[in-house]
Amino acid sequence: MSQTSSYVADRPIPVRKGPSGPDANTPRYWFDNDPFMSHFFNAISSMFPEGERFFIRSVRNFSDSISDAQLREQVRSFVQQEAQHFKEHDEHAALLSAQGFRVLDRLNRFAATGLNWTTKHLPRYALASTVATEHVTAVFADQVMQRSDLWLEPMVPEMRRLWRWHAIEETEHKAVAFDVYQECIEQGSQSGLWLRRFAMAQVLMGFFLEAFMRHSLLLIKDRQFSPRVLWNGMRQMWGRQGLIRAFHPEIWQFFRADFHPWQLDNVELLDGELEALRTDGFAAA
């Protein structure tokens, strides 16, 4: 296992029960009463359950090939954390469906079919895609935590706790799938390196295209697809301090041959967010 992941050796990946998420009393526009940003995070959340089931299956496909005892333990924690994540986001998806956004249910059934086929018939590519997507979500989590004043504090308390908890755990296990890939597939080989690069290219196109499609469908269904809403939202996403604008530089590090997720060392940030989660009333932090 890469020495860059030694952080986890001294600090095991904890498994927590998720915080209480949204319910029928949660405002429809729970991000600063802003339909654009609320539906942006709704769209991302709706992608998580099937994606996280896919991550679990993809890593488990190689569990018998892992010789490192520490990594096997990390995989167990990774699976348990991801299982908690899809449970919480399943509940959020059910709330969105009850609010009239049942189109997401149909999209998720379609996604599940494709992801199940991939893990069954293309296990190496499934793991490479998992590694790539885990990097995207880890960078997203890092940006959300770094600018919690912009991306967490405007949320209502139950959504803030949900997203902060998820961002923390995505950071804690961000190297697990990568280390499995390194041990079981890449191991310094050029074919393994190019497979994960190809997977990242596909993930970047697919992830953002699907997020855009889901976001647009939510806004259209909610009759919020107006020039004013779109203009204000795009400024928040692509402006000087925009989430996507700040997000992309770290993504490209993945294509380096010597890349490892813990080269982005945000342990200090992680500790601060754990304390913020406790202060916000989540005792399991």
Quick one: 142 exposed, middle or buried, by C-beta within 10 A (0-12, 13-18, 19+)?
Answer: buried
DSSP 81-102: HHHHHHHHHHHHHHHHHHTT-T
- Specify the residue for token string 């041959």: 257
pLDDT of residue 5: 46
Shortest CA distance to 57 belongs to which of 139, 121, 141? 121
Q: Which amino acid is at 71?
A: L
242 vs 244: CA distance, rounded Å? 6
- pLDDT: which is higher, 124 or 189: 124
Tokens coding 79:
């699976």
- The pLDDT score that the predictor gives to residue 12 is 81
pLDDT at position 242, please?
A: 73
Task: Give the integer Cα–Cα distance in Å for 138 and 135.
Answer: 5
In this structure, is residue 1 part of a structural domain? no
| DSSP single-letter state for residue 155 | B
C-alpha triplet 67, 52, 224: angle, nearest 5°: 160
Amino acid 187: pLDDT: 87
**What would the pLDDT profile of 94-145 be if each residue is shown by its tens digit?**
999 999 999 899 999 999 999 999 999 999 999 999 999 999 999 999 999 9
What confidence score (pLDDT) does residue 10 get?
59
- Predicted pLDDT of residue 157: 95
| pLDDT per position as a tens digit, 201-253 | 999 999 989 999 999 999 999 999 988 888 888 888 877 777 777 777 789 99
User: Does 263 map to a domain?
Assistant: yes
**Helix, strand and coil percent figures for the chain, each rounded to 5:** 75, 0, 25
Integer Cα distance of 216 and 222 in angstroms: 10
Angle at 31 between CA 232 and CA 266, to 5 degrees: 100
- Cα 88 to its chain centre, rounded Å, is 13
Note the pLDDT of residue 237: 81
Inside any domain, residue 3: no
Please compute the mean of the pLDDT values over residues 75-96 and round it to a whole number.
Answer: 95
Determine the structural domain holding residue 190 and report its residue range. 32-279
Query: Is 70 exceeded by the pLDDT of residue 13?
Result: yes
Phi-psi region of 2 (alpha: psi -120 to 50; beta: other; left: phi over 0): beta
- 250: its two tokens: 């770290």
pLDDT digits (tens, 9 = 90+) for 52-80: 999 999 999 999 999 999 999 999 999 99
Task: Kindly report, residue by residue over 255-268, the tens digit of the pLDDT.
Answer: 999 999 999 999 99
Task: Tally the domains of the chain.
Answer: 1
Stretch (H or E) spanning 35? helix 35-60
Cα 207 to chain centroid distance, Å, stands at 11
Q: Which of these, 283, 33, 253, lies nearest to 161 by C-alpha position?
A: 283
Whether residue 9 is contained in a domain is answered as no
| Contact of 41 with 29, CB cutoff 8 Å | no
Model confidence at 4, pLDDT cuts 50, 70, 90, reads: very low
Cβ atoms 45, 93 nearer than 8 A: yes
Q: What is the pLDDT of residue 249?
A: 79
84: in domain: yes
Nearest to 28, CA basis, from 77, 78, 100, 89: 100
pLDDT of res. 2: 44
Tell me whether residue 274 is in a domain.
yes
Mean pLDDT within 163-183: 96
